[in-house]
């Protein structure tokens, strides 16, 4: 998981004399000058060369909450809800917002295990896997590379597609993700993300969880 960005220097906060500040008073209505027209750009395909960068202050995308407590009630259990067995030392915390559940692991370090359920195919496996790869700064895959990266695991719920990606660079991030579609049409994502070392330690337990998946 990415570190929260730490502000070092904000030009908008540069020391300003009161005389300069009063100039701000001249700003009449219509500040911002934001265009209200549809703009068009032709750009090189982003997914082919580079993953989408996270914004300076990342939004909280679906199922990607970073562990802060949420004031949203846990989502309702979908029909034919997925169930799992937790290894020793693991516990389940209620989800919130779009997140179905969060797992607390017994391992130290930056590590998070989450369960997200989305209705329907949720954009498809390739697009979602590429989105996850983008989150750890890896380039996108095509269908052939996706098939190569995929391992499968047999569970009671059926076949679980498993992906294990580690980022480049000196401080490596790693993501192990299980992807399974249930007969009610929902798509489930179980993800273990964090620094490479704690993810490596927790992977065996996480694979046990994936192997234990079954329908309610």
Partner 1 sequence: MINAYASRIWNVLKSFQLTIVLLALLMCLVLFCTLAQVEMGTQGAVNAYMRSFIVWNQPLLLRLPFPGGALVGLLLTINLIAKTIDIKLSWQKSGMWLVHAGLVVLFAGEFIAGMMQVDTNLTIEVGQTVNFVQSYKQMELAVIDVTDPTWDEVYSVPDTLLAKGGAVAIPGTPITLNVKKFYPNAELANLAPGAPPSLANAGVGAGVSIVEKPVVSADNEMNQTSAFVEPVAGGRSYGTWLVSVALGAPQSFTHEGRTYTLAMRLRRQYLPYAFTLKQFRHDVYPGTDIPKNFSSLVQVVNPSRNESREVLIYMNQPLRYEGKTFYQASFGKNDTLSVLSVVENPGWLLPYVSCVLVSIGLLVHFAIVLRRSLKRRQDKKEG
Q: Which residues contact 41 (CB under 8 A, 6 or more apart)?
A: none
Binding flag, residue 108, partner 1 (CB under 8 A):
no
Q: Which is nearer to partner 1, 141 or 207 (CB)?
A: 141
Binding flag, residue 200, partner 1 (CB under 8 A):
no
Q: Decide the pairing of beta strands 82-83 and 214-215.
A: antiparallel
Name the one range near partner 1 by CB under 8 A: 9-17, 143-151, 155-163, 203-211.
Answer: 9-17
Q: Which is nearer to partner 1, 87 or 139 (CB)?
A: 139
Name the one range near partner 1 by CB under 8 A: 73-81, 101-109, 148-156, 198-206.
Answer: 73-81
Token pair for residue 152? 């499968």
**127-156 mask for partner 1 (x: CB under 8 A)?**
xx--x-----x-------------------
Q: Contacts with partner 1: how many residues (CB under 8 A)?
A: 82
Binding to partner 1, residues 109-128 (CB under 8 A): 117-120, 122-124, 127-128
Residues 130, 98: Cα–Cα separation, whole Å: 20
Question: Angle CA(140)–CA(97)–CA(73) in degrees, nearest 5?
Answer: 160
Token pair for residue 168? 């480049």
Give, in order, the Cα–Cα distances in Å from 115 to each of 92, 101, 180, 209: 10, 5, 11, 11
């Amino acid at each position: 998981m990415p570190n929260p960005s730490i502000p070092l220097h904000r030009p908008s906060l540069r020391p300003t004399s009161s005389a300069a500040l009063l100039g701000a008073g001249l700003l009449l209505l219509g500040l911002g000058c934001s265009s209200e027209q549809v703009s068009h750009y032709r750009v090189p395909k982003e997914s082919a060369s580079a993953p989408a960068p996270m914004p300076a202050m990342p939004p909280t995308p679906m199922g990607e909450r970073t562990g802060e407590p949420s004031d949203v009630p846990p989502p309702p259990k979908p029909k034919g809800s997925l169930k799992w067995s937790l290894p020793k030392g693991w516990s389940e915390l209620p989800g919130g917002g779009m997140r179905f559940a969060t797992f607390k692991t017994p391992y130290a370090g930056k590590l998070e295990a989450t369960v997200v359920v989305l209705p329907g195919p949720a954009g498809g496996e390739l697009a979602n896997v590429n989105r996850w790869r983008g989150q750890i700064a890896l380039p996108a895959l095509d269908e052939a590379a996706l098939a190569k990266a995929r391992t499968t695991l047999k569970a009671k719920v059926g076949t679980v597609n498993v992906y294990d990606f580690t980022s480049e660079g000196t401080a490596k991030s790693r993501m192990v993700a299980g992807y399974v579609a249930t007969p009610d049409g929902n798509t489930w994502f179980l993800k273990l993300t964090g620094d490479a070392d704690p993810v490596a330690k927790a992977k065996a337990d996480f694979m046990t969880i994936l192997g234990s998946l079954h329908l309610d």
